[in-house]
Homo-oligomer: A and B are copies of this chain.
């Protein structure tokens, strides 16, 4: 409507296209195989073409991180409790292969912000913490979720590669449920700390 046919640009690839291609490549090849050449190949373009759209690989990966975190879905559980926000964050990371490692690296380079962080901060304030306490609580939970999921996904990769890590080979279906329980238990340990801290104020 706002762009009549006279102005229909034949842009062969948008940033969004490339990010989408990279995301699905990540999911079925894994982060170690997500090279600029692999991304270029998957959309039928030369590697150098990617550098017209993005200044470097890390920036491209940061956009992929944002996409899988759903940085657009601003609201979602905007006023849930801490636990449900953390569980949602955990699930988004679990939805794509190696997502925790990818997000961890984008975050470390300061190229993304996590939607979950302010949500947890505000929930902590509602729970009774002051601003500084809420910031520390948010950081602690974010570290926990990323660290936990990182290990979780690394084990998934090792399993599917047939690698035996210690005695993990004897893991049954019940153990997978136990892993999810461990996540919630670790989370509850931290939230219990938050509530206990509130009582001292």
Contacts and interface: CB of A to CB of B under 8 A. Distances in A.
Interface of A: 101, 104, 107-110, 132-133, 136-137, 139-140, 142-144, 146-148, 150-151, 154, 158, 165-166, 182, 185-186, 188-197
Say how many copies of this protein the assembly contains.
2
Given A143-B143, A192-B197, 20 more contacts: A107-B151, A109-B154, A132-B185, A136-B182, A136-B186, A136-B189, A137-B189, A139-B148, A140-B144, A140-B190, A143-B144, A143-B186, A144-B147, A146-B147, A188-B193, A189-B193, A191-B193, A193-B193, A193-B194, A193-B196
A12 to B, nearest CB: 33
A178 to B, nearest CB: 9
Nearest to A110: B165
B182 A139 contact: yes
A124 to B, nearest CB: 10
